[in-house]
Chain A
Amino acid sequence: MDEEKRLTRKKNILLSVVSVVILCILLFPLYWALITSLKTEQEIFRNPPTFYPHVLNSKSYAAQVETGDFNMFRSFANSFLISVGATVIAVLLAVPASYGIAKYHFKGRKIMLLSFLVTQMLPVSVLLTPMFIMFKNMHVYNTWVAAVLADATIGIPFSVLILKNYFSSIPKDLEEAAYLDGCNKFTAFIRILIPIAKPGVMVCAIFSFLYAWGDLAYGMTFILDQEKRPITAGIFNFMGQYGTKWSYLTAFAVVTIIPVALIFIFMQKYIVSGMTSGAVKG
């Protein structure tokens, strides 16, 4: 297979160079945020702008660790806890749901699928007040739990839509073999299907995590205490507090990106396959 498609050496080099150029252009905003966070405020306002920090300034990072209310590490830890919680709920609920939709053609299946899709479409202005009222009645307002429960509502529908394709791509024979071995519907699901769909489950976990990590509105509205708020709310506060103090703002932005970058490096394979199966029939 491979030998016939292998590119000529010249073409290989040319394409590699082109792709590196594309990479540089597309990732430039990230580079710019990084170097801005390391510049002094004077250098940021210098004209023409400098393309690397002439004076290395780590003050903007240090300042966030020192001050009490907006401690970067704490809001980082909050975001992490909230995201993990939301991921757990989303995976536990979405895995069986997507299996049900993929493998059983019960009545109202399309309606259910549509309703999962619809829940992804709601603007935040619709959700904030009623959710707030519910969380207050559940006595979880102003705790991580409120943000966890709310963030899971972003992860669940997305996971269902993706995982449904995973499950429908698994041949029926496998399940039937399990029944012959004495499994019932539920044990077959747990022993046979979940292990096969493991990559899909990983993808759902990653996406639920990323959605929760990126959320701003829920974390801001349902958690009042600064020290419990997620890191995105911290950025938003900084924008109010420091206005155009770009070194501080970008330092905070860089710290927010780091876990995303880590997830990406370790989970690249899953993410690619996840994005793919979400929209293309499995």
Chain B
Amino acid sequence: MKKIKKMFRYENVGILFVFPAFLYMLVFVGYPIIRNIILSFQDVGAGNLVRGTKNFIMFDNYLELFKDSVFKTSLSNTLKYTILCLIFQFMIGFLLALCFNQRFTLAKPIRGILLVPWMIPVTVTALMFKLLFATDIGVINFILRSLDLINKNIEWLTTPGTAMFALICANVWIGIPFNMILISTGLTTIPKELYESASIDGANKVQTFFNITLPLLKPTIESVLILGFIYTFKVYDLVYVMTSGGPVNSTHMLSTYSYKLSFEMFKYSKGSAVANVLLAILLVVGISYIKVTTSGEEE
């Protein structure tokens, strides 16, 4: 009895509230994580998936990865893709936020409608961009031709460099609303008085932006970039539907390569190792997110 009472000490009651959700996630997601880590240290292939002994080969899968050119491409692709997407969707989102924070008549309704791209199933978005970037019937090639920017259709999805560009475009399209709305709200939290006193001091718009807006938005910007990083880094559906990692593996990401190894080539353990590399990178980012959002809280 006494023990139970101690359990109900003020702060520990919180655990009871968190526990059901925590347990649910532990069962459905915790077990897969542990299984995946074990699998990545074994030598599981078609031959010993169901029967036969699974040998522990420790870090061999990971060492093999660093000799694997597709893995290296996937790793650098994932980083390149994530960083480029973040830069573009952040900058465009920022500009739109600045624009829609002016109090003109249509600001609120239009800002609302602009959120739609973020809410569409990714499979559908991928499909739409595949259509837009098609070589012969694609409207993007048509517009470029009409503007005399090109005289021959660009084979967007069948040329390594441009296929990556098309993927980035699709993802930026999804990400712009997310960035816009978060920055937009961040802007409204900046006290108006600061701008007023700045203009009394004779600061111009550029100076105000760099001296007041940016520093005060810092927490928002950090959150936006870190959350954006996590969602972009594990991209799967978009790439799978638009390019399946092609042409010639040039758009493979860690997630799609892991999937291909596990489910198309029967190299289960190697696929797990790729997934763990992805997870390790995201874990580092996740820890920094927790640090950013809980800093300043009394503990």
Chain A residues in the interface with B (C-beta under 8 A): 2, 5-7, 11-12, 15-16, 18-20, 22-23, 26-27, 29-30, 32-33, 36, 44-45, 47-49, 89, 93-94, 96-97, 99-101, 103-110, 112-131, 134, 149-150, 152-153, 156-157, 160, 185, 189, 210, 213-217, 232, 235-236, 239, 246, 249-250, 253, 256-257, 260-261, 263-264, 268, 271-272, 275-276, 278-281
Contacts and interface: CB of A to CB of B under 8 A. Distances in A.
Contacts of B189: 280
Contacts of B99: 15, 18-19, 22
B132 A280 contact: no
9 contacts: A2-B103, A5-B103, A7-B102, A32-B131, A118-B286, A125-B262, A131-B28, A153-B29, A281-B219
Interface of B is mostly: helix
B236 interface: yes
A149 B136 contact: no
A239 B11 contact: no
A105 B11 contact: yes
B62 interface: no
B255 interface: yes
B123 A214 contact: yes
A232 B121 contact: yes
A123 B110 contact: no
B167 interface: no
Interface stretch (B80-88, B180-188, B205-213): B180-188
Given A20-B106, A29-B132, A49-B142, A117 B10 contact: no
Given A93-B21, A160-B21, A271 B27 contact: no
Interface residues of B, number: 97
A167 to B, nearest CB: 10
Given A125-B258, A130-B31, A30 B299 contact: no
B122 interface: yes
B52 interface: no
A119 B31 CA distance: 11
Contacts of B13: 100, 104, 106, 185
Contacts of A215: 121
B65 interface: no
A22 B98 CA distance: 13
Given A117-B289, A118-B286, A123-B275, A149 B107 contact: no
Given A109-B14, A114-B286, A279-B182, A119 B220 contact: no
Contacts of B102: 7, 11, 15
A124 B186 contact: no
Interface in B183-239: 185-186, 189, 219-220, 223-224, 227, 230, 233-234, 236-237
A264 B115 contact: yes
A48 B138 CA distance: 10
B129 A29 contact: yes
B22 interface: yes
Contacts, number: 294
A80 to B, nearest CB: 13
B91 interface: no
B11 A280 contact: no
Contacts of A119: 25, 29
Given A5-B103, A30-B116, A125-B271, A131 B32 contact: yes
A264 B119 CA distance: 8
Contacts of B113: 23, 27, 264
Contact of B230 (A100, A120, A253): A120
B287 A114 contact: yes
Contact of B14 (A15, A30, A103): A103
Contacts of B16: 100
B290 interface: yes
A48 B142 CA distance: 7
Top 9 A-B residue pairs of the complex, sorted by shortest distance between their CB atoms? A104-B14, A100-B17, A214-B121, A97-B21, A279-B223, A100-B14, A276-B185, A93-B21, A130-B32
Nearest to A164: B293
B73 interface: no
B137 to A, nearest CB: 6
Nearest to A268: B112
A279 B132 contact: no
A114 B181 CA distance: 24
